[in-house]
Structure formats: C-alpha cells, structure tokens
Structure 1
Amino acid sequence: MSPQTRAPARLTPIEMVRPTGALRASLRAGTLSAIAAALGGLFLLGISGWFLTGAAVAGAAGFAAVQAFNYLIPSAAIRLLAITRTVARYGERLLSHKAALTAMADVRSRLFARLAMQDTRSAPNLSAGEASARLIGDIDALEDLVVRQPTRPGSLAAALAGVALAALSGWLCALVLALLLAVFPFALGALSRRWTRTPAHEAAEALGDLRSRYVDMAQARAEIAAYGLVPRVLDELALPVARLDAARARLFRAEGAIAAFQLVYGALAAIVVLATASRGPALAALAILAASAAVEGLAALARTAFRQASVDESLRRLEDLLALDAPAPAAPIDVNLSASTLHLGAQAFGPGARIALTGPSGSGKTIVLEALAGLRSSAAPIRIGERALAQCCEAELSALFALSAQDAPLLAGSIADNLRLAHTGLDETAMRTALHVACLDERIARLPHGLDTRLGEDGAPLSGGERKRLSLARALLAGRPWLLLDEPTEGLDAATEARLVERLGDWLERTGSGLVLVSHRPHPLTLVHARVAIDTLVTL
C-alpha cells in the first residue's frame, strides 16, 4: 500500500486558537468580567466627577444647599463601583489568561502532532532550534488572540456607556463623542500598522534566529567549551542579539508614540465634550470624565493593534507547520512485508539474512540504512517483496526495521525511559537482557540509580561508546524482523568488541532476525553471510 497524496489541510489562525468546552466557558466568563470592569471603571469615574462637582457647587451656594445635597448614596455607589471594577478586572485577567495558556498548550500539541506524524522523508527540514523557536516563541505571540478577546466587548461596552452618560449633558455632546470614538479605532489601527509592521517583522526574525542558534549551539556546548570556542560563539550570537535589541527599541518607541496619541485623543475628546455640554457644571464634569474613560476603555484595542504586527509575523513563520497534513488514522500495515524478500540492487535476501554494506567512507552506506528505516528518501534500487522502498509508508518501514544509528540519539530522561522508546510494556528483565547483549549491563548496575539514572541531553554520564550500546539495546528491544546497525563497535576496545559481537551473534541466532550492517572494523563483519558493495546501488 503506497502513501496517499492529499491536499494539505490548512488551519486558519482562528481555528488554531479556537477553544472548546471548558475554554469557551472561561472565555464567556472572562468576557462578562471584562464588560463589568469596563462599565464599573467608566461609571466610577463619571459619578465621581459629578459628585465632586455637585458638592463644590452646593458648597458655593451656601449652607442650605450643602444640607440639601445627598452625599450618602453617591458615596456608597462610588465604593461599590470601585470594588466591582477591581474584582471584575482580576476575574477577567485570571479567566482570559487561563483560557490563553490552555489554548496555547492545545495549539502546541496539535502542531507537534502534525509535525511528528509526518513522513520524515518528505517533512519540512527543521533543525531542533528552528522547531523549538516556532513551537515556543511564535506560538507565544499568538496568546494575544485569546487574551485580548474578552477585552474587546468590554471596550465596546465602555464606549456605548460613555456616549450614554455624555447624553445627560446634551444630545450634541453625545453625538460628537460618538463620532470621536468611532474614528479612534481606525486611526489607531492605521498608525499602529505604520509604526510597528517593519520592526515587528525584524524582531520576529531576529528572535527566531537567536532561539534557533542558541538551541543548536547548546546541544554542542561540551565541544564548544572543549575547543575554546565560547568567544566565537558569543560573537556569532551578538548579531541576532543586536538586531533583536534594535527592533525591540523601535517597537517600544512605537508603543510610546501610540500611548501619546491615545492621551492626546482623550484630551481632545474631553475638550470637545466640555465645549458642547449644555446642562450644568456637574453633568458637564460627568460627561468629560465619561469621555476620558471611554477613550481609555478602548486601550484594549490599542494593545491589540500594537501587537497585531507581531502576531502576523508569528503566523507567517508558522505557515510551514500550518500547511502540514493533519494526523490521519493509522493505515493498516501490510503484515506480509515481514516475510518478504529484501532486494538490494540485483541481490535478494530472505528473512533472517545477514548483510554488510561495504564501501569507502562517504559513499552512502548510512543513507541506505536511514532510507530502510524510513528516515529519508532515496532513489536507490531497493525493494521489499514486489514493492519499491518509496512505496512503503513510514509506519511499515518502522515495523520492519530497527535502527541503531551511528550518532546514537538519546532523550533527556532516565536510561529506562530511553529503552522504553522501543515499545510500551517493557519490564526490567527484558531491559537487562538487552543491556547484557550490548555489554552494558554491568556498567548500568554500577550506577547509583541503575536503570533510573537520568541522562542529560548529551547522554551524560554515559560515554560515546556507552551511548551507542544503549542505542543498540533499544533496537534489540524493538523486536523488529530486521536490525540495522551503523558502526556498532566504533570506539570500543578489542575485548569489549569481541564480547559484543559474540553476544549479538547469539541473539541473532536465537531470534532469527535479519541484519544489515555498516562497519569499517573487521570483527563485526564476521556476523554477516553476504556483502553488498555500495557502488552497485548506483542511484543514491
């Protein structure tokens, strides 16, 4: 069964962060909190202005007017509104950030699933640093799509309430304020796009470059320190750091300019409202402060507009991941392939055969092993049964071949965690048996925590040869019909190599597994029954 070719199922930004279930409930509650906070703040400011001005007018009118002025109800209302605003703001931030963090975790999981489920022979060629930068930094920038969502209805509610309060001071006052508030978002958006688009692009590129370089260099930190390359590495990182600092400085200046524009616009709204107010000083004060609060309430739009350029840049950088096919249900694996003949060029090998690929360094032997394991594409004349290698899906190749690679990649976790990657349900007896075949059981037993010993990203505290043998043990535990070994004894002393070859031969005899071996050392070649010169596979 050959892999099917289908059109990429693209995700839109809204689909990426669209929450469901409990997240929708959190956003609804956050939206109600944002509306309550916006209205509470606006009415608090408006009533406070009316109360203070009214009290001043009453005081100027004499003792009788002061006695007639009811200050208890406005005072209680002001206190209630202050409490309401504080609680609502806390609730809005708590609920919106909870929804945002959960949504971002979901986005990362779904995009990582898309990336992990791709056939590695055709998936985007992303380094660890670049993948990390996209799945962490770029998705972080999308958080605003969720965090700012509840504040937008709050901004609208504040604007409408501001116009309603201004109407108490005259219809012209309300009309002018409504026009100013209607123009404000468009003017703000235009200025934000003009001032932030270029620096946001530069900041996103510089941050992605910096994260990518940092992750990739961190993986080689031991070699960097050993060869005294720290100054050179720091010099290489200085350029993206300088670019990032310069772009962020421009963004901060733009943010300051946008804040100044908002301040000036609020002052303009207050002046226009004062000029058109017609129903006494107390209501004029209420209208002025309501206008200022309405403009301030639209600050959420200012923050959204300011960050929109960064969000757009992050989406652009995520396009490669968004274009990937969505994970599909696993297709049935052709079980007959396990009993099929392996054809390497003109030579055919049945199940259980032991084959060595021979040729000089750099001739393509590792490429053939990785192609058999489904890790890369190859045009080499290789067939499994009647099917060309390229017609076998990655899952089928994974079920047929277990690779112990030359560079022995390991996960940051315990030794047992790395062995359990072979398949689920492994017990310690099976692990220790595989470690014995790999001549690593005694070394693991001497470690203070045994199989629970934690490994760093570089496999420490294991040496290079020990990491290779751990990778070999993991491949043995996979229990696949074919074992692919790339320089399995490189770096070993002669005595350890002899024991490993003997134990591996016994394991092959006992399990009946096939072997495809690459080795420049003569002793491992005693395991094989046939040799295939790499130059006979002419189209690598």
Structure 2
Amino acid sequence: MTSYSLLATAGLARRRLLLASLCAGIAALAAIGLLAVSGWFLTAAALAGSAGYAAATAFNYLVPSAAIRLLAIVRTLSRYGERLLSHKVALEGMADLRGSLFQKLAAQDSRHAPDTSPGEASTRLIDDVEALEDLVIRQPARDAAVVSGLVSLALVAFAGWPALLFLAAMMAGLPFLFRRISTRLTQAPAEEAAAALGDLRIRYVELAGSRAEIAAYGLADQALAELEPASTRLDRARACLFRAEAVQAALLSLYGAVAVAGVLMLARASAPMVALAILATASAVEALGGLSRSLLRRASLQAGLRRIASLNALDATVRGPAPRQPLPLALGSRRFKPGARIAITGPSGSGKTRVLLAFSGMQTPVATLTCGDRPLNSLAPEILNGQFSLSPQDAPMLIGTVADNLRLSRPGVTEAEMWEALEVVQLDLRIRRHEGGLDMAVSEGGGILSGGERKRLSLARALLSQRPWLLLDEPSEGLDSATESALVKSLGAWLDRTGTGLVLVSHRKAPLALCAERIDVTDLH
C-alpha cells in the first residue's frame, strides 16, 4: 500500500496535505541551511582568526550571523505550520473516515455480513484508524525528507564529485535497507500485537457488559485474571517492537557516521566547504532517518491497514425508502394475511427468537419462512426493514435521552407521537414524573430505568416505526401482573386501531391473549 493509496483510503486528496508538505520542505531547507552555514561560518572564522589580526578584522561576520538567525526563525515557523496543518487535515480526515466506515458496517446485510464482535468493531474504528492517522501526519515529513536529500546532495557537490556520488549511493540505499530491516524485525510482532490487542479489547468489552454482576459477586480478581494472558501477550509483542525501534536507531546512527566519514575522506575542497558538506550529510541522514522511522511504523501497522482497506471496500449504497405496503406471511405451511396476530410457542431454546430475528433480517432463517410469497433469504434487507419492527428480549439503549431513543424509530417523529407511544406501553407516567421528561438521561445499560422499563421503552420505539408487522420477544418480562394486564389491554387497542400485524414470542399467558393464531416452532422445520 503506497503513501498515495493510504491517503486515498483515508478519503484525503494529496492536495490537502500540499501546504503542510510545503511547510515541511521549507523547514528541512532551513535546517540544512542552518547547519551548513553554521559549519562554514565557524570554520571560516577559525581560519580567519589563525591568519592574523588583519584577516580577522576584515572577516565579515554580520552576513552569516544574520543568515543563521533568519534560518532559525524560518525553521521554527515552518515546523509549526507543518504540524498545525498536517494534524488539522489528519483529524478532519479521520473523523470523516470513521463515519464512512461506520456507515459501511451499518449498511451490510446482517444475514451475510461477517460476525464482528463489539470489541473487534471498536478496534477497527478506533485503533486502526488512529494508526492511519499517524501515517497521514507523517506524510509531509516524508516529502520533506526527499527535499532534504536533494538539497544536501547539491551542497555536498561543492566538496567534489567523489563525495557527491558516495553520498548519493548512501542515501539511495538507506530506504531500501531499512524497509527490509523494518519488515524483518516488526512484521511478526506487529501482527501478534494487533491480534493480542483485538483479543484484549473483545474480552474487556464482554467483561464490561457484566460489570454489575462482577461487582455484586466480588469477581474482580477473576476478571483481571481472565484479562492477564491477553495483556501479557500484548506487552511481549510491544516489547519486541520497541527493541526493533532501538535496533533501527542504533543502525541509523552507525549509517550516519559511515556517511559522514566517507564524505570527509572523499571531499576535495577547502576546509569551510568540507565542513559545509559534512554537516549537510549529517542533516540529510537525519532527515532520511525520519523516513526510515516512518517505514518502521508503517511496517508494524500493516495488519490494521489491511483491515481498514477491507472495510473501505464494502458497499455502502444508500438504498431508497423501504416499501411499507403490508405483505402476507407464511410460517411453514400456514399462511397469514396482513394484520394477523400470531403467537409462536415452544419450549425454551427451540428457536422461537431465531424466527423473529429472521423476519427482522438480522439472522439467516433456519425454518420455512416467506414474506409476500417469497422466501426471506431472497428478499433485500430494505424490504424486510420496511415490513417488520422488532422489540427484542434484550432491549439495547442509545446513550442519550428518552427522546433520542424514540427518535431512532423513524425520521420526523413528534413529541406528541412519543407521548402517545409511551402511554400505550404504560410508561408515560414514569417519564412525566421525572424532572427531565423526554430529556431524561439514558445510558447504554438503561441508567435509572429498570429492566421492565427498558423493555417498554424499546416497545414504544417499535410502535413509533409504523411498520406493517410488529415482532415482540417477551414484551411483558419483568413486569408485575397489574402493569402487564394494563400493557396487554392498551397494546391490543393499539393493534385494533392501526391494523398492525403481530408476531409474538412469550412464556407468559397474558400477552398470548393478544393472538388469535398460534403455531409451534417445531412445526416450522
């Protein structure tokens, strides 16, 4: 993956970094000029002083000293501009990239998309994008290294052709040599570190989801013990990468010493020009050393960059509005008209929830299920999305407010519609009593809402989506009998009024009264 393709992967045009690269190039020129002029100035001043009083008094030190001050100021300002502009471009680009990758993940058909855990998804959207961000920030430095190398060659030319050819050969071999070294030293530990970090994040996310139980039962030590192998594995891999970086730094210092010694031995010029050539050589090797460190960093991030490229290649076509014309359903050999109310029965673990997830397009069906006389597998996700609204058994909440969670149902939902839905699910009084009302804070785990209240908030969200079919999985779980009775009564009235169809899974008797049709899940296979 070339530097240009890296920028394209990040959604960044090379021209957006052009100004930052220009500042970096000016800073590199100023740094080389500063060293070269300083070396020439000191050497010439020393020679003038040793030549006697007349030569010393005739020596013009004002021009070179002013040039040194000017170059120092230019280098400082240019370096500041390069850092400011490159970070601005990188941060803006990475924000756009994260949004684009999330959109592409969300647009995938859940029935056929890879089963990506929350930990793995967060690794791709956070750690891998941060790795790409680092490489984007380093892009101007790579451009500046090329400028630095060319200018250094021009300055060394004043010391003679042998020194120039020697330095050109050394500079040409440096990137190739360190690319080989970086790949050899970092490829295996980098892949190991990426795998260990992904495993650690996955385990951490899983344990964080059970933090209440871990605290309640005093399982913190066991949780830490479960994280320790992945953490140790990650530490070992990172230690190998740090050692590789130290080896590279040592080799770079040795390489620079060889380059300086070679230029010194081959130089054919006056002492001031030799000093200029030596310092220009040191500056060139240092600048190319930054390029070499970038190669090391890039070699250690190849796995993450490949993951980003695989996500970036996904299709994120924005589909048109989902059709909402009610379609008939068929479960096994039985056919149901739009508006029918169907209860799926069967023992625990028999696959009732799997049927609801298949209708919602979240899983591949294992039973004979059709919608509109077509098998579910042959229907596009937007068709299923336009027909079914699911309130799952484990109701996920968005971090925000009650209103934020209800607005997920569909665009343009009004507060009046929110209160109507909350009244149907018997949650309106609870929300009204809170000082925040619809702005009541909700965390990922529901915050101060109980399990039954989260379930009913999820149900209200499903009602607001206004789909032809409502899929409910244990809608009254966690409710007392009085609240359950009131919920069943109001929900039945809402179904009568809207003509919405219902596919219900429940182990409790009260909700089953909503359904005129029942089918055993074992009859669907």
In structure 1, what is the Cα distance between the partners aligned to 2:420 and 2:185? Answer: 65
Which secondary structure state, in structure 2, belongs to the residue aligned with residue 383 of structure 1?
Answer: strand
Retained in 2: the 8 A contact 1:438–1:504?
yes
Aligned to 1:400: 387
In structure 2, what is the Cα distance between the partners aligned to 1:158 and 1:398? Answer: 57
Aligned to 1:282: 272
Aligned to 1:373: 360
Retained in 2: the 8 A contact 1:53–1:281?
yes
Kindly state the Cα deviation for residue 473 of structure 1 after the two structures are TM-superposed.
0.6
Kindly state the Cα deviation for residue 97 of structure 1 after the two structures are TM-superposed.
1.7
Kindly state the Cα deviation for residue 317 of structure 1 after the two structures are TM-superposed.
3.6
Moved more, 31-40 or 11-20: 11-20
Aligned to 2:341: 354
Retained in 2: the 8 A contact 1:374–1:394?
yes
Which secondary structure state, in structure 1, belongs to the residue aligned with residue 472 of structure 2?
Answer: strand
The one-character-per-residue Cα deviations of 1:35-86 (angstroms, maximum 9, x if unpaired) are: 1111110110011000001101111111101111111110111111111111
- Of the three residues 463, 488, 491, the one matched with 2:478 is 491
2:101 aligned with 1:114, yes or no?
A: no
Would you identify which runs of 4 or more consecutive aligned residues in structure 1 move more than 6 Å?
19-22
Aligned to 2:95: 105
Write the letter of the residue equivalent to 1:42: I
2:488 aligned with 1:501, yes or no?
A: yes
Aligned to 1:123: 113
Retained in 1: the 8 A contact 2:327–2:371?
yes
Moved more, 107-116 or 118-127: 107-116
The one-character-per-residue Cα deviations of 1:459-503 (angstroms, maximum 9, x if unpaired) are: 111011110010011111111111111111111111111111111
Kindly state the Cα deviation for residue 386 of structure 1 after the two structures are TM-superposed.
2.0
Which secondary structure state, in structure 1, belongs to the residue aligned with residue 159 of structure 2?
Answer: coil
Kindly state the Cα deviation for residue 26 of structure 1 after the two structures are TM-superposed.
3.4
Retained in 1: the 8 A contact 2:11–2:97?
no
Retained in 1: the 8 A contact 2:10–2:94?
no
Moved more, 211-220 or 120-129: 211-220
In structure 2, what is the Cα distance between the partners aligned to 1:71 and 1:466? Answer: 82
2:169 aligned with 1:182, yes or no?
A: no
In structure 1, what is the Cα distance between the partners aligned to 2:343 and 2:59? Answer: 101
Aligned to 1:159: 149
Retained in 1: the 8 A contact 2:157–2:164?
yes
In structure 1, what is the Cα distance between the partners aligned to 2:80 and 2:156? Answer: 28
In the superposition, the TM-score normalised over structure 1's length comes to: 0.93
2:64 aligned with 1:77, yes or no?
A: no
Write the letter of the residue equivalent to 2:410: H
Question: Structure 1 20/455 Cα, relative in aligned 2: closer, same or farther at 3 Å?
Answer: closer
2:334 aligned with 1:344, yes or no?
A: no
- Of the three residues 257, 264, 267, the one matched with 2:257 is 267
Aligned to 1:471: 458
Question: Structure 1 19/44 Cα, relative in aligned 2: closer, same or farther at 3 Å?
Answer: farther
2:196 aligned with 1:209, yes or no?
A: no
Question: Structure 1 509/224 Cα, relative in aligned 2: closer, same or farther at 3 Å?
Answer: same
Write the letter of the residue equivalent to 2:520: A
Aligned residues: 525
Moved more, 521-530 or 226-235: 226-235
Retained in 2: the 8 A contact 1:13–1:315?
no
The 5 A counterparts of 1:221-240 are 221-240=211-230
- Of the three residues 498, 507, 510, the one matched with 1:520 is 507
Question: Structure 1 107/370 Cα, relative in aligned 2: closer, same or farther at 3 Å?
Answer: same
Aligned to 1:257: 247
Which secondary structure state, in structure 2, belongs to the residue aligned with residue 527 of structure 1?
Answer: coil
Kindly state the Cα deviation for residue 15 of structure 1 after the two structures are TM-superposed.
4.8
Kindly state the Cα deviation for residue 30 of structure 1 after the two structures are TM-superposed.
0.8
Kindly state the Cα deviation for residue 238 of structure 1 after the two structures are TM-superposed.
1.0
Kindly state the Cα deviation for residue 217 of structure 1 after the two structures are TM-superposed.
2.0
Aligned to 1:420: 407
Kindly state the Cα deviation for residue 107 of structure 1 after the two structures are TM-superposed.
2.1
Aligned to 1:462: 449
In structure 1, what is the Cα distance between the partners aligned to 2:9 and 2:236? Answer: 35
Kindly state the Cα deviation for residue 185 of structure 1 after the two structures are TM-superposed.
1.5
Write the letter of the residue equivalent to 2:452: G
In structure 1, what is the Cα distance between the partners aligned to 2:30 and 2:376? Answer: 68
Kindly state the Cα deviation for residue 423 of structure 1 after the two structures are TM-superposed.
0.7
Kindly state the Cα deviation for residue 22 of structure 1 after the two structures are TM-superposed.
8.5
Retained in 1: the 8 A contact 2:6–2:132?
no
Kindly state the Cα deviation for residue 278 of structure 1 after the two structures are TM-superposed.
2.2
Aligned to 2:162: 172
Kindly state the Cα deviation for residue 137 of structure 1 after the two structures are TM-superposed.
0.6
Kindly state the Cα deviation for residue 18 of structure 1 after the two structures are TM-superposed.
1.9
The one-character-per-residue Cα deviations of 1:227-253 (angstroms, maximum 9, x if unpaired) are: 222111111111111111111111111
2:317 aligned with 1:328, yes or no?
A: yes
Kindly state the Cα deviation for residue 261 of structure 1 after the two structures are TM-superposed.
1.1
Retained in 2: the 8 A contact 1:169–1:287?
yes
The one-character-per-residue Cα deviations of 1:189-221 (angstroms, maximum 9, x if unpaired) are: 222222211221111111122222222322221
Write the letter of the residue equivalent to 1:495: A
Note the residue ranges of structure 2 that are not aligned, 5 or more in a row: none
Aligned to 2:520: 533
Over the residues paired in the alignment, what is the CA RMSD in angstroms?
1.9
In structure 1, what is the Cα distance between the partners aligned to 2:425 and 2:5? Answer: 48
Moved more, 167-176 or 38-47: 167-176
Kindly state the Cα deviation for residue 144 of structure 1 after the two structures are TM-superposed.
3.5
The one-character-per-residue Cα deviations of 1:17-36 (angstroms, maximum 9, x if unpaired) are: 32899964430001111111
The one-character-per-residue Cα deviations of 1:263-314 (angstroms, maximum 9, x if unpaired) are: 1111111111111222221111111111101101112211211112222121
Retained in 2: the 8 A contact 1:274–1:284?
yes
Retained in 1: the 8 A contact 2:3–2:139?
no
Aligned to 2:437: 450
In structure 1, what is the Cα distance between the partners aligned to 2:329 and 2:240? Answer: 61
Aligned to 1:384: 371
In structure 1, what is the Cα distance between the partners aligned to 2:149 and 2:75? Answer: 16
Moved more, 288-297 or 24-33: 24-33
In structure 2, what is the Cα distance between the partners aligned to 1:424 and 1:333? Answer: 13
Aligned to 2:233: 243
Retained in 2: the 8 A contact 1:342–1:384?
yes
Moved more, 448-457 or 485-494: 448-457
Equivalent pairs: percent with the same residue?
54
In the superposition, the TM-score normalised over structure 2's length comes to: 0.96
